[in-house]
Structures are given as structure tokens and as C-alpha cells.
């Protein structure tokens, strides 16, 4: 397999074999990233296809990536996701099973105990940058340096952002849990009142 510099040189020359290799190497990663945000196969497929169409167009226009291909693809995907969220209210996007992780990952722990819809709602309370760093680090398994390249930040800034994002996510999930517990307690009190009323009759 050629190194990235060689591959990008061939891509810039509109080499069909090189473009096909990029598609084969990155399609699944970009698709999972998009699906992680949107939770719908159709939307994820459309946006992922658009990412590679934009790569082809940029290559033909001479404006394609000259380095950091992976970061370029993720940035295009993220911009398309943001555009979709601006056009469509988040509540119209249904989340299905999309969590991936391994033992030791914060998101793996969340997956075991948190309903996916509630996780989406919690993520929605984070800033756009906080959402992105969590998606890239824990759902795409990119390392800090790769995330820094995608987001155009220093590794130190990404580490700090990741810490703030995980704290904010934990807080949002705890608030949801408190609301659920209050709701459960309220339903229990209502049931008890109904039962007492039934016994009196």
C-alpha cells in the first residue's frame, strides 16, 4: 500500500485506482462517523456518498487535499452533518443502535446503562466542539493527534476539550437520571393513591 503522500499525489492526478483505494479505505469510517450523529441509514449513506463526491470534485478543480487526507474527509463529513442539523430539527432524527466501544472506554460504560435516545439528548446539550471530540475519540477511535488534525487544534487543546466534554456529558446524563427518578417516584405515589382510593370503595 502506498504511503499517504504518494496516494494523494495520485489522487491529485485523478488516478482512478487511487480514488478507488481512498473510497475503499475510508468509506466505512466516514459512514460510521456520520451514522453516529444521525442514527439513520439513509441519511448516513447520502452524506457519506456526498463526502466522496466532493473529494472527486475538489480533485478535478485542483482544490483537493494535499496532505492529511483523513482529516480532510472528516471535516467535510462534519460540515455536511452540521448543515443537515441546521435544516432539520434534531428531534426528527431517530437514534438506533450505534454505540461502539471496548472495556475501559467511557462511552462503553454509557452504552451498557444508558438508553441510546437519552444519550443522544445528553450529547445534544454539549457544544458542537464537545460533541465532535467525543465522536472522534470514542466512536471513531482516533487518537489525540488525529483528532487535533481533524479539528484544527493543538493536541493540548483537544485534551482539555475532551475533559470538559466528558464532564459535561456526565452531568447531562446525571440530570436525566434525576428526572427519571423523580418521574418514577411520582408514578409510584399516584399508583398508591389510586390503590388507597380503590380500597375505600
* Model confidence pLDDT, tens digit, residues 65-90: 888 899 999 999 999 998 887 776 54
Kindly state whether residues 91 and 106 are assigned to the same domain: no
C-alpha cell, 2: 502506498
- The reply to whether 39 and 53 lie within a common domain is yes
CATH number at residue 19: 1.10.1740.10
* Between residues 40 and 68, the one the model is more confident about: 68
Grid coordinates representing 15 are 488516478
Stated pTM of the model: 0.65
User: Which three-class secondary structure string do you get for the chain?
Assistant: CCCHHHHHHHHHCCCHHHHHHHHHHHHHHHHHHHHHHHCCHHHHHHHHHHHHHHHHHHHHHCCCCCCCHHHHHHHHHHHHHHHHHHHCCHHHCCCCCCCCCCCCCHHHHHHHHCCHHHHHHHHHCCCHHHHHHHHHHHHCCCCHHHHHHHHCCCHHHHHHHHHHHHHHHHHHHHHHHHHHHHHHHHHHHHHHHHHHHHHHC
Length of the chain: 201
Residues 94/40, Cβ–Cβ less than 8 Å? yes
Cβ atoms of residues 79 and 86 within 8 Å: no
State whether 110 and 199 are in the same domain: yes
Degrees, nearest 5: CA angle 164-165-168: 85
| Domain closes at, from 68, 98, 128 | 98
- 97 has a pLDDT exceeding 60: no
| Mean pLDDT (the chain, rounded) | 78
**Residue 140 and residue 81 in one domain:** no
Residue 95 has pLDDT above 70, yes or no: no
117 and 175 assigned to the same domain: yes
Both 116 and 48 in one domain: the answer is no
Average pLDDT over residues 23-31: 92
For residue 165, the domain's CATH number is: 1.10.10.10
Same domain, 117 and 190: yes
Is residue 151 domain-shared with residue 190, that is, in the same domain?
Answer: yes
- State yes or no: pLDDT of 196 exceeds 70: no
Same domain (yes/no): 110, 63: no
Residue 40 has pLDDT above 90, yes or no: no
Q: Are residues 114 and 27 in the same domain?
A: no
Question: Of 42, 66, 98, at which residue does a domain stop?
Answer: 98
* Best-predicted range by mean pLDDT (19-28, 61-70, 79-88, 166-175): 19-28
Residue 111 clears pLDDT 60, i.e. is over it = no
**End position of a domain, from candidates 98, 115, 130:** 98
Total structural domains in the chain? 2
Give me the domain span that covers residue 135.
101-201
Residue 85 and residue 4 share a domain: yes
Question: Do residues 66 and 133 both lie within one domain?
Answer: no
Amino acid at each position: 500500500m502506498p504511503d499517504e503522500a504518494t496516494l494523494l499525489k495520485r489522487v491529485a492526478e485523478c488516478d482512478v485506482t487511487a480514488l478507488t483505494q481512498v473510497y475503499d479505505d475510508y468509506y466505512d469510517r466516514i459512514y460510521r462517523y456520520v451514522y453516529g450523529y444521525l442514527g439513520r441509514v439513509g441519511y448516513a449513506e447520502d452524506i457519506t456518498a456526498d463526502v466522496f463526491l466532493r473529494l472527486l470534485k475538489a480533485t478535478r478543480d485542483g482544490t483537493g487535499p494535499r496532505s492529511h487526507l483523513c482529516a480532510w474527509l472528516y471535516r467535510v463529513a462534519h460540515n455536511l452533518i452540521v448543515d443537515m442539523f441546521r435544516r432539520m430539527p434534531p428531534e426528527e432524527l431517530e437514534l438506533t443502535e450505534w454505540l461502539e466501544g471496548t472495556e475501559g472506554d467511557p462511552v462503553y460504560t454509557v452504552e451498557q446503562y444508558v438508553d441510546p435516545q437519552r444519550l443522544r439528548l445528553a450529547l445534544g446539550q454539549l457544544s458542537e466542539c464537545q460533541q465532535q471530540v467525543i465522536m472522534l475519540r470514542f466512536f471513531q477511535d482516533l487518537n489525540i493527534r488525529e483528532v487535533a488534525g481533524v479539528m484544527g487544534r493543538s493536541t493540548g487543546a483537544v485534551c482539555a476539550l475532551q475533559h470538559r466534554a466528558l464532564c459535561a456529558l456526565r452531568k447531562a446524563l446525571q440530570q436525566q437520571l434525576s428526572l427519571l427518578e423523580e418521574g418514577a417516584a411520582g408514578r409510584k405515589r399516584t399508583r398508591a393513591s389510586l390503590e388507597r382510593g380503590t380500597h375505600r370503595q
